[in-house]
A and B are shown apart, each in its own frame.
Chain A
Amino acid sequence: MKKWLALITSVLLILTLVSCGTQAGAPGTTTTGPEAKPPVEIVNVSYDPTRELYANYNKLFQAYWKDKANQEVTITQSHAGSGSQARSVLEGNEADVVTLALEGDIDTLVTGGLIKAGYVNEFPNDSAPYTSTIVFLVRAGNPQNIQDWNDIVKPGVQIITPNPKTSGGACWNFLAAWAYALDLYAGDEVKTQQFLKDLFANVTVLDSGARGSTTTFVENKQGDVLLAWENEAFLAQKEHPGEYEIVIPSISILAQPTVAIVDAVVEKRGTSEVAAAYLEYLYSPEAQQLEAENYYRPSNQDILKKYADTFDLNLKLVNINDDFGGWTAAKAKYFVDGAIFDQIYKK
């Protein structure tokens, strides 16, 4: 009996060792030299739909960092609505880097003194290594024949979108619809606001985050159309082949999910170097390729062109700085208490 036990234990032990060995040896194949630095840990606080992207990217970066700096790095991920993630960091969730849905959320961390002003210019392309946009996800066969924004405000169409007050993605949804209507009514804001009012009158479930809305639309089968991040729409389509179609509206918005180093935290924890490398590497060709595979539009134009089959590169995109005067102005005009979004719901 004891012999058996010993045998099983040793077999298990060997197996564990072997598996550990292959895991550690796989990326660089260089064995850890004498100058290997102690392992480091960083925390990446991100928003809802980036789960899959960063799960893949972290592996890529770990291999890269092992090779480059000869250091093991563990990355802890955290995902939720972009706004609540910013708040959690502000309230003491120690993130080394934040990769949130919009600049406006990171701005609150600047106000809170955790990030130095001017972070937007720290990395290329307004610190947005990948972009996305807002598209419609409809059920197979497009039974309501939804082609553009004016189709979804028709009576009887049920829309699923998250609440712009709690979700970054929903802010983009709102602004994209606004841009379309403003163009339609040749700049008449009163009519544009009425258009948005009609749109939100068709919203049947207003979840607090983008993932929640996807679940409502996909799993609980609510609504006719989901206003979604392009990447989220592709993901839903991939996971449920044949059940959904993506409809590209005539106008949408260039959604720039912004990344930043949380200066106060990296200084305290001594992780500045690895945190900066983590965000910088998002712009490398390998990472850009990975982002495209996860349905984010890479900022590297050459790589983006390679994925022209996936992304509609002719889609007319407005952007937050030129068309809405930046996030601070947009928030004040549309989303703070009593602003346009609240007026839309006022009875």
Chain B
Amino acid sequence: MGISRNTRLRRHKSNNSVIPGFTLSLGVTLTMLSLIVMIPLASVAVVMTGYSLAEFWATLTDKMALHAYWVSLSCALTAAIINVVFGIMLAWVLVRYDFPGRRLLDGLIELPFALPTAVAGIALTTLYSDQGWIGSLFAPYGIKISYTTTGITLALVFIGIPFVVRSVQPVLEKLDRQTEEAAAILGASPFTTFRRVILPELLPAILTGFGLVLARGIGEYGSVVFIAGNIPYETQIAPLLIMVKLEQFNYAGATSIALVLIVLSFVILFTIHRLAGQIERRIKGGADT
């Protein structure tokens, strides 16, 4: 251990990294981070000055707001779980099988990112409304998709597809097939192999993807606002409530709700990041000994 730490230190000093200059690159990184992330986030605090703690608390705990957080959080959570299941399947199919059109399918994965969210929202709403192509198939069974929380979840699943697929895919590609063969030789069933050999390796990537879908879903506005019915206490999402407050020039109120979403997303991402890190260390540690 002692030796390895020494070599690492020496390498750091001897400056033979690909990117020149530790100080320079750190400086650029910090400047970029401040300009693009930290300062806009800090401005949130500035807007809030002059808003008393009591007012802030009243806005945060307003029943309508509480319900809006719940709609955003529950839909994002459902969407994240759905995306994990289908994301793993999609990544698996793309990595493990070769079939005509595979590259095309691979390219399609990012489409939800490229499409303006409003376009996606309007298209989904029209398709899944009870008069739309797909929605009309469900309508006879009393299932409404557009203008319900199901619709909101659907839109979040759509925009979240790339996250899980693209985090799992590279790990799956690098996975050593010999371990699976060894498991099979030792008598493990395909399911056990997947559960005990493959899944643990994928877990950090899955968690990362899950966290990204969840965080994105909580803050998503563009695609959801069209498919949600926007009815308070039913289908009103938290970002829409921010817009409603902005329209009334209630900047502090809008910012309070934004603050809740930021903290929520940050806590989720931070927890998941730590969890993924722990699992990764455990796997690596296990492999070494």
Contact = CB atoms under 8 A, between A and B. Distances in A.
Interface string A278-309: 00000000000000000000000000000000
B183 interface: no
Interface residues of B, number: 27
B230 interface: yes
Nearest to A221: B131
Interface of A is mostly: loop
B249 A87 contact: yes
A205 B126 contact: no
Interface string A207-226: 11000100000011110000
B244 A166 contact: yes
Contacts of A250: none
B248 A220 contact: no
A220 B126 contact: yes
Interface string B214-242: 00000000000110011111000000100
A208 B253 contact: no
Contact of B253 (A204, A337, A347): A337
Interface in B129-149: 129-132, 146-147
A345 B232 contact: yes
A330 to B, nearest CB: 14
B247 A81 contact: yes
A205 B126 CA distance: 14
A108 B64 contact: no
A342 interface: yes
Interface residues of A, number: 27
Contacts of B129: 220-222
Nearest to A201: B231
A207 B230 contact: yes
A84 B229 CA distance: 19
A198 B247 CA distance: 25
Contact of A336 (B125, B225, B248): B248
Interface of B: 63-64, 125-126, 129-132, 146-147, 225-226, 229-233, 240, 243-250, 253
Interface of A: 81, 83-84, 87, 90, 108, 163, 165-166, 203-208, 212, 219-222, 335-337, 342, 345-347
14 contacts: A90-B249, A108-B249, A165-B244, A166-B244, A204-B147, A205-B229, A205-B231, A219-B126, A220-B125, A221-B131, A222-B129, A337-B248, A337-B253, A342-B64
Given A166-B243, A208-B225, 12 more contacts: A165-B248, A203-B231, A204-B229, A204-B231, A206-B231, A207-B230, A219-B126, A220-B125, A221-B131, A222-B129, A337-B250, A347-B233
